[in-house]
Amino acid sequence: MKIISSQEPRICGMQMNTNVGLLLLLCVCICLPIMDMTVAMMLICMDCLGKLHAMMIDSETIHILLLLGTLIVVQVLDFSTNL
């Protein structure tokens, strides 16, 4: 198993050797305030599609599994400020 770096916090990936060949597993997740799912999918496509395509082309895998997920949050907490 090998971790694939994406330089994108919403994309994680790994490459695995299986009994049927190499598998590239990519997962895309986006945290959004409550909104329309169509808007969420458009944001994923606009922000991540190019990077996903590049990761797929650059890999030596035979099989690719792409997981898309949306995490809907009611309130986003900002921990970067000092309390």
Q: Where are the domains of the chain?
A: 2-73
Name every residue whose Cβ is closer than 8 Å to that of residue 24 and which is 6 or more positions away in sequence. Answer: 4, 13, 14, 15, 55, 56, 59, 61, 63, 64, 65
Q: How confident is the model at residue 33 (pLDDT cuts 50, 70, 90)?
A: low
Identify which of 30, 35, 73 has the alpha carbon closest to the alpha carbon of residue 51. Answer: 30
Q: How many CB atoms lie within 10 A of CB 6?
A: 18
Give the chain's mean pLDDT.
Answer: 77
pLDDT tens figures, 20-32: 899 999 988 766 6
Instruction: Look up the pTM and report it.
Output: 0.66
Alpha-carbon span 67 to 63, nearest angstrom = 13
